[in-house]
Amino acid sequence: MVKQTAAVLAKSGIVFGTSGARGLLSQFSQAVAAAFTQNFISIIKNQYAFGEVLLAIDARPSSEPLAAACAGALHALGYKVRYFGLLPTPALAWYALTHNMPAIMVTGSHIADDQNGLKFFRPSGEISKADEAAIMQQQLPLVSFIPKLPQR
């Protein structure tokens, strides 16, 4: 049976908070990161022209495996990934905005180390609350992905 992205997200318990989707690592599987990524792309792909997505992480040990899942989902969807590795969120956001590119930041920011999160940026800036709701509600078959980070 093919998993649906909205069901994967709902079952995880990961939700959007003040800034980004955040939750416990015990709930934040690679499938959850891939589902968030797939749904994010699905809500912006008809509004912007792009073939590449920017990706960066914070210094948490859990960030790299989550980024690998995001990259794997992006590759499965046919997008190139420009992986920056460790980078401050404002630097990724600035680069995405000034180069008119979508971006995903894997960061727990200010939350405890047993948690992590994802922040999404449209080519025009950070996603809105309406975008967050749309991401949570997308009913798509979860892509088959291989978690792998591209070379920097």
**Nearest-angstrom CA–CA distance, 27 and 7:** 13
Give all strands (DSSP E) within the chain, no chain letters.
Answer: 15-16, 21-24, 52-57, 80-86, 103-106, 115-122, 125-126
Point out the catalytic residue in the list 109, 124, 128, 144.
109
For the chain, the distance separating the N- and C-terminal CA atoms, rounded to the nearest angstrom, is 35
Active site residue 109: yes
What amino acid positions are annotated as catalytic residues? 109
